[in-house]
Amino acid sequence: MLSSLSSTISRLNLFCPKPSIPHSLSSCLKTLKPQPIIPRWSCLHSLSTHSTSRLSTSLKPQFDALVSKDDLVVLGIETSCDDTAAAVRGNGEILSQVVSSQADLLAKYGGVAPKMAEEAHSQVIDQVVQEALDKANLTARNLSAVAVTIGPGLSLCLRVGVRKARKLAGSFNLPIIGIHHMEAHCLVARLIERELEFPFMALLISGGHNLLILAHDLGHYIQLGTTIDDAIGEAYDKTAKWLGLDMSRSGGPALEELAQEGDAESIKFSTPMKQHRDCNFSYAGLKTQVRLAIGSHNINPEIPISSASSQDRRSRADIAASFQRVAVLHLEERCDRAIEWARKIEPSIKHLVVSGGVASNQYVRARLDHVVKKNNLQLVCPPPKLCTDNGVMVAWTGIEHFCMGRFDPPPPADEHEDYVYDLRPRWPLGEEYAEGRSEARSLRTARIHPSLTSIIQASLQQQ
């Protein structure tokens, strides 16, 4: 319908209009949702309505032209761990994807050293973004918007991506979309599986998070479970480090590989939180059990696995396999219960999405596929490259929100270096499922930002 316009409007000619059409956002969202058409410089409704930061802007809808969703091109920038950027078209076409890994730093320091990581991010971010544009045969002028992760994660690292995104958006007068990292892990599943409609369930497993959610709708998530201490990725990384594995690709892939040589039944680790009939997770206790097993098998983590004797290697492989079996069994048990809970809330669910770095593990995928089939659901697991942190998921989530009119206007081109960015290091995705609340939770609640869901739902109610 609008194809003739596509070349000229692939970049939105933006300005910051005075609100002139005061109709409600929710009514325009209803009409927009089924159609792949979005307003040009449209319903401005920021993700950050409740924030005190200056990233927040909420303008009323203004329709002056329409752009087909397919014609959008959004650049996604993500610096919460590695530096990644990607350009994605509204129809889901991935135009480019660039990742500059911080694995070398991780291996050297055995974890994230925030200041070092910030420096490394700052050194490569310009290059990563430029490469993402070049590979897509684009210049910033061709973009419709810039999406960037604003949390959760380390402020020092997030800041590098946000600064770059705002600079670019300011220079080229582009709207900007602040993205929740875990929502991006979840929604990238809708890029690869176009049949995936809300509501669905998601298990999001990464280095810092273990989340079981019911995704009601875009921006509306119920948290069925979370970790009370460590995430599974952290447990993989620590176990890999203690087993003297090569951490240059992060610990998870190295441990998965070694586990294939081992006997998963050889060491009887106990499954976490058996006595708690909820959907929360805990990996701190399993880490302790692994540490004890490593001590009792006289494994010296200082000796890399490549130099270990065959008997030593065998012990390490047995620990790796036994750890992996129980770590994943914990996921299976929690998913089983979460499916039961989710069906009570939303009987129509058909899919379980499994995403986040740990979801690139083949054993994890196979075991969860079994759980999902047993419960007559379908598993949606993005390809490994889209499970680990990537700019595509950020760009795609940007597209999803942009099409709902949730974005901020272009920042000023001459924004001062000292500008205080809206960063959300501790930012829940959804509201906790009240019936599932557990006494085992010992989560720290200080300085937590209101959840993405509560912000969006509250802003919808205001309209």
What is the smallest separation between the CB atom of 207 and ligand KG4, expressed in angstroms?
3
Q: How far apart are CA 67 and CA 33, in angstroms?
A: 14
In this structure, the number of other CB atoms found within 10 A of the CB of residue 173 comes to 18
* SS3 readout for 320-373: HHHHHHHHHHHHHHHHHHHHHHHHHHCCCCCEEEEECHHHHCHHHHHHHHHHHH
Q: Which is nearer to Zn ion, 9 or 395 (CB)?
A: 395
Q: Which positions touch Zn ion (CB under 5 A)?
A: 206, 389
Cβ at position 439, least distance to ligand KG4 in Å: 28
**CB-wise, 90 or 252, nearer to ligand KG4?**
252
**207 forms part of the interface with ligand KG4 (CB under 6 A):** yes
For every residue of 177-241, DSSP letters joined together read EEEEHHHHHHHHHHHH-TT--SSEEEEEE-SS-EEEEEEEETTEEEEEEEBSS--HHHHHHHHHH
CB atoms within 10 A of CB 263: 13
Among 131, 126, 129, 146, residue whose Cα is nearest residue 12:
146
Report the site for ligand KG4 in 360-379 (rule: CB under 6 A): 360-361
Size of the site for ligand KG4 (CB under 6 A): 19
Q: If binding is defined by CB under 6 A, does position 357 make contact with ligand KG4?
A: yes
- Establish if 106 lies at the interface with ligand KG4 (CB under 6 A): no
Binding site partner of 79, from ligand KG4, Zn ion, none, Cβ cut-off 5-8 A by kind: none
Strands 351-355 and 378-380: parallel
Dihedral of CA 8/14/15/21: which sign? positive
What is the C-alpha to C-alpha distance for residues 144 and 90, in angstroms, rounded to an integer? 10
Which lies closer to ligand KG4 via its Cβ, residue 233 or residue 428? 233
According to the binding rule CB under 6 A, does residue 83 interact with ligand KG4? Answer: no
In sign, the C-alpha dihedral spanning 177, 182, 187, 191 is positive
Helices 114-135 & 155-172 angle (0-180, nearest 10): 30
The rounded distance, in Å, linking the Cα atoms of 88 and 100 is 18
How far apart are CB 462 and ligand KG4 at their closest, in Å? 32
From residue 160 to residue 199, what is the string marking binding to ligand KG4 with x (rule CB under 6 A)?
Answer: ----------------------------------------
Contact flags string 281-320 toward ligand KG4, x per CB under 6 A: ----------------------------------------
Closer residue to ligand KG4, CB minimum distance, 76 or 233: 233
For the CA atoms of 390, 394, 395, 398, the dihedral, rounded to the nearest 10 degrees, stands at 170
User: Which residues share a beta bridge with 408?
Assistant: 176
Q: Applying CB under 6 A, which part among 121-129, 244-252, 282-290, 293-301 lies near ligand KG4?
A: 244-252
- Least separation in angstroms between CB 241 and ligand KG4: 10
Take residue 115 and report the two structure tokens written for it. 């200041």
83, β-bridge pairs: 100
The partner in contact with residue 239, picked from ligand KG4, Zn ion, none with C-beta cut-offs of 5 to 8 angstroms by kind, is none
Q: How far is the CB of 383 from ligand KG4 (least distance, A)?
A: 12
The listed partner (Zn ion, ligand KG4, none) that binds 233, CB under 5 to 8 Å by sort, is ligand KG4
Q: Is 16 in contact with 58 (CB distance < 8 Å)?
A: no
CB of 23 to ligand KG4, least distance (A): 39
Q: How far is the CB of 86 from ligand KG4 (least distance, A)?
A: 14
Q: Which residue is nearest to Zn ion (CB)?
A: 206
Q: Which does 236 bind (CB under 5 to 8 A by kind): Zn ion, ligand KG4, none?
A: ligand KG4
* Interacting residues with ligand KG4 (CB under 6 A): 81, 206-208, 233, 236-237, 250-253, 256, 356-358, 360-361, 388-389
